Every structure is written in C-alpha cells, then in structure tokens.
Chain A
Amino acid sequence: MIWTSVSQFLDMGGYGFYVWGSYLVTLICIAGELVLVYNRKRTLLKHLSLIHQSNKQEKRNETAS
C-alpha cells in the first residue's frame, strides 16, 4: 500500500491542491453536464405533454360543437 493514513492520502505528497483541484473540477463538470441534459429533457417532455393535452382539448371542443 502506498498510503499509511487518510491525511497522507489527502496531502498527495504536498501536491494535494493540484491533484484534488483537478479531480474536483472534473466531478463538478460531469455532474453539471448531467443535470443540464436531464433538465433539458424534462422541460421538453413537460412541454410536449402540454401540447398534447391542448390538442386533445381542441378535438373535444370540435366534437362538442
């Protein structure tokens, strides 16, 4: 094993800021991209179902009149 303690692992031989700075920003970017792409899809599906409902409503109105 390379590391003998957690603090040694976090310190990364004095390069902790650089190593963890890299991995942390990577994590933030990936999480951010996933949130954005899922939001895009959710908004879209919500929008589509609204259109769909209003279409149904129109048809109902047409048959009623």
Chain B
Amino acid sequence: MGRKTSQGNSVYLDMAINWFKYSSPASFYFLAGKMIPLFSVAAVLFCVVGLYIGFFVAPTDFQQGEAYRIIFIHVPAAWMSMFLYVVMAVWSGIGLAFNTRLSSMVATAIAPTGAMFTFLALWTGALWGKPMWGTWWVWDARLTSELILLFLYIGFMSLQAAIDDPRRADKAGAMIALVGVVNVPIIYFSVKWWNTLHQGATVSLTQSPKMATTMLTGMLIMSIACWMYAIAVILIRTRAIILERERHTAWVGELQGAER
C-alpha cells in the first residue's frame, strides 16, 4: 500500500479511487504534509476575525461588563477539550478493534492538544469565576468533571509514555480513553443534573441562543479557529510520531534526501 516515496505524486492522483491508501502511515505522512499549511492559514485568519469581532464589534454585556469577553476563549477551549477527547477515544477504539497503526498514532497525537485546551478551559474559567462568583474555584459538578477530564488526558499520556512497546502502549491508552469517555456527557449535562454556580449552556441545538448575535458570531468563529489550530498541530505531531515509529523502514530512509 503506497509504501514508496518515489510514487509520491501518483499517490495524490489516486485520491478519489482508493481512500484506504491513507490508512498507511507512509501515504498519510505526505497527505498530512500538504494539509498542514492550509489548516494553519485558516487558523490564523479565523482567529484574527474572531478576536476583532470579540473585542471591537461585540457590545459590552449589561450584566458582566467587559469581563464576559473571556467567553471568546473559554467556551471554544471547553468545547475543544470535550470534542478532542471523544475524537481521541474514537481513534483509539478503531485502533484497538481493527489493529490499524495509524489510528492509534492519531489518538496519541491528540492527547497533548486536548490536555492543553482542558487546562485553558479551567484557567480562563478561574479568571472569569473570580470577578463574577467571587472565587477562583468551587468543587461543583461542572468544574470537578472538567478537572477529571484533565487527569484523564494526563493519565493517557503518562501510561503511554511508561510502556516501551508502542503497540502495547496504544492498547493500554485505548482502554483509558474508552473508559474515560463516559466523563464527557457528565461534563456536558452537569449543569442540568446538579445545582451549580456555572451557568447553563448558552448555545444548544434545541433552543435559540441566549446571547447577542455578534457575541455568538465571535464565539463560533473563535471555535472554528481553535478547530483549525488543533487539526494543524495534531497533524504535525502525527507526522513526528509516524517518523519515530517507522524510522527503520525503507521509506523513511529514502526521505533523508528529500526533506530537511
């Protein structure tokens, strides 16, 4: 399956015909290399537009004054922390079920970025909680379950780092990822199930949004920016992991002349 770099160009021409070609780490390596610049540019553009709307177009909140502007990073970071965990669990599960190396590598590449967004959700939440609730932290359902999510990401990464054989590390990590995925709906519904200081969902599929249109637009554009950034950085990390694990193969050997 498309193992030779000398066939690099024909790999892209075949794109419409054989999608399974990209389940091979070697072909995915080159496809990802082409996609990274696109997602990086998109991330910068969406971020600039989103921040402009967030800071210069969106009006002052009648209740929270300017402090609410933390929302443009807090909500996208919190969404990403949950989405990325689910995506990580899905790829782990596929890797476990079908024994596909690439899916496990992608799962491993997602974890640090997911952990970073989880930390940011907690950090910005603390900085928002202090002026609005009068406290940096409370042990309520939403905050505690988000903290558990951070520990799940850290657990996944340290377990994988502790096991020398990459394929065994993939399997062990997949177990944490799959068991931990029950935490995601708990985070999401925690504001409904328990009494909490945290406000309910501002945006949901069933009701019209409870916020001004410009605020919502800024928040959604910032979310897209976070998605683009996450995809770009995860692809870069996946490429590094592919090189690390495939370094003894012929195609990585051939790469020496081409790259660098």
- Chain A's interface size range is 20 to 34
Q: Is the CB of B74 within 8 A of A44?
A: no
Least CB distance, A22 to chain B, in whole angstroms: 4
Q: Helix, strand, loop or mixed for chain A's interface?
A: helix
Please name all residues of chain A whose beta carbon is closer than 8 Å to the beta carbon of B56 when the two chains form the complex.
1-3
How many Å lie between the Cα of A6 and that of B2 in the bound state?
56
Interface positions, chain B 215-260, Cβ under 8 Å from A, are 229, 233, 236-237, 239-240, 243-244, 247, 252-253, 255-256, 259-260
Least CB distance, B26 to chain A, in whole angstroms: 15
How many Å lie between the Cα of A9 and that of B69 in the bound state?
12
How many Å lie between the Cα of A47 and that of B179 in the bound state?
36
Asked whether B116 is an interface residue with its Cβ less than 8 Å from the other chain, the reply is yes
Q: Is the CB of A26 within 8 A of B70?
A: no
Asked whether A7 is an interface residue with its Cβ less than 8 Å from the other chain, the reply is no
Q: Is the CB of B127 within 8 A of A22?
A: yes
How many Å lie between the Cα of A3 and that of B120 in the bound state?
27
How many Å lie between the Cα of A44 and that of B260 in the bound state?
11
Please name all residues of chain A whose beta carbon is closer than 8 Å to the beta carbon of B180 when the two chains form the complex.
none
Q: Is the CB of B233 within 8 A of A37?
A: yes
Least CB distance, A9 to chain B, in whole angstroms: 8
- Chain B's interface size range is 35 or more
Q: Is the CB of B236 within 8 A of A41?
A: yes
Q: Are A14 and B244 CB-contacts (below 8 A) given A2-B60, A22-B73, A26-B73?
A: no
How many Å lie between the Cα of A52 and that of B233 in the bound state?
27
Least CB distance, A36 to chain B, in whole angstroms: 8
A19 touches which one: B69, B236, B240, B255 (CB < 8 A)? B69
Interface positions, chain A 29-65, Cβ under 8 Å from B, are 29-30, 33-34, 37-38, 40-41, 44-45, 48-49, 51-52, 55
Q: Is the CB of B123 within 8 A of A18?
A: no
Least CB distance, B42 to chain A, in whole angstroms: 15
Q: Are A14 and B65 CB-contacts (below 8 A) given A2-B56, A48-B256?
A: yes
Please name all residues of chain B whose beta carbon is closer than 8 Å to the beta carbon of A18 when the two chains form the complex.
67, 70, 127-128, 130-131
Q: Is the CB of B116 within 8 A of A19?
A: no
Least CB distance, A65 to chain B, in whole angstroms: 23
6 tightest A-B CB contacts, nearest first: A13-B66, A15-B67, A22-B124, A12-B66, A13-B65, A18-B127
A residues neighboring B (CB under 8 Å): 1-3, 9, 12-15, 18-19, 21-23, 25-26, 29-30, 33-34, 37-38, 40-41, 44-45, 48-49, 51-52, 55
